[in-house]
């Protein structure tokens, strides 16, 4: 019996999609009342599962960004992105501060995305920011929404 650790994101119905790393069997499961629990697949793999407390899927990404504020203008790169936030690193040190209002610009495909955000975390040259929602029917919001969509959601869209 092999034990693995994975993180999953539950959806609004309180369920999550479990996929076994050995046999690739998938099963939609109801989330228990705990953030950490174990799931045993019929193939024998025992997996430690940790529910992600975030409400939105956070996708690992390596996208060049421009960060602009009243006191700072710099370049950086994302480490991950979601519909409500972005984190990454930037080239200058100690220029951003928690609470700073910034504009973050990046490109997804051929679409320029410009987000207004509040810096929530700074450590050396790493940052985390909470983004305002993009305008509802904008091309940037649509492009970002599909970009950060969880992999299992993309699968369901293709099947329907």
- Alpha-carbon 136 to chain mean position: 19
The token pair that represents 125 in the structure block: 């040259």
Query: Which stretches of the chain score pLDDT less than 70?
Result: 1-12, 52-55, 93-94, 151-160
Structure tokens that stand for 3 in this block:
């034990």
- Tens-digit pLDDT profile for residues 68-107: 988 888 899 999 998 889 999 988 765 788 999 999 999 9
pLDDT at 156: 43
Give how far Cα 113 sits from Cα of 30, 63, 82, 140, 141, Å: 35, 11, 13, 5, 8
Q: Are residues 147 and 111 in contact, defined by beta-carbon separation less than 8 angstroms? A: no
Please list the residues that pair with 33 across neighbouring strands: none
Measure the CA–CA gap between 134 and 115, rounded to whole angstroms: 7
Mean pLDDT rounded to a whole number for the chain: 81
Local structure of residue 85 (DSSP, 8 states):
E
Cα angle vertex 146, ends 144, 151, to 5°?
125
pLDDT at 53: 59
Report the pLDDT value the prediction gives residue 115, as an integer from 0 to 100: 93
- E-strand spans in 26-158? 26-30, 36-40, 46-52, 59-60, 64-68, 73-81, 85-90, 101-108, 111-123, 126-131
What confidence score (pLDDT) does residue 158 get?
43
Q: Give all domains of the chain, ordered by start, each with its CATH number.
A: 3-52 (no CATH), 59-147 (2.40.10.220)
């Amino acid at each position: 019996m092999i034990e693995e650790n994975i993180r999953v994101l539950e959806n609004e119905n309180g369920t999550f999609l479990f996929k076994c790393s050995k046999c690739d069997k998938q099963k939609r499961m109801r989330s228990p009342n705990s953030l950490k629990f174990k799931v045993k697949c019929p193939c024998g793999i025992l997996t430690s599962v940790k529910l992600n407390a975030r409400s939105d899927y956070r996708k690992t990404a390596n996208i060049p960004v421009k960060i602009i504020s009243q006191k700072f203008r710099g370049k950086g790169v994302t480490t991950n992105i979601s519909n409500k936030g972005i984190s990454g690193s930037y080239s200058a040190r100690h220029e951003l501060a928690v609470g700073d209002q910034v504009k973050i610009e990046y490109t997804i495909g051929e679409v320029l995305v410009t987000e207004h955000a509040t810096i929530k975390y700074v450590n050396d040259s790493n940052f985390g920011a909470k983004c305002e929602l993009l305008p509802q029917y904008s091309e940037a919001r649509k492009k970002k929404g599909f970009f950060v969509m969880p992999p299992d959601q993309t699968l369901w869209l293709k099947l329907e």
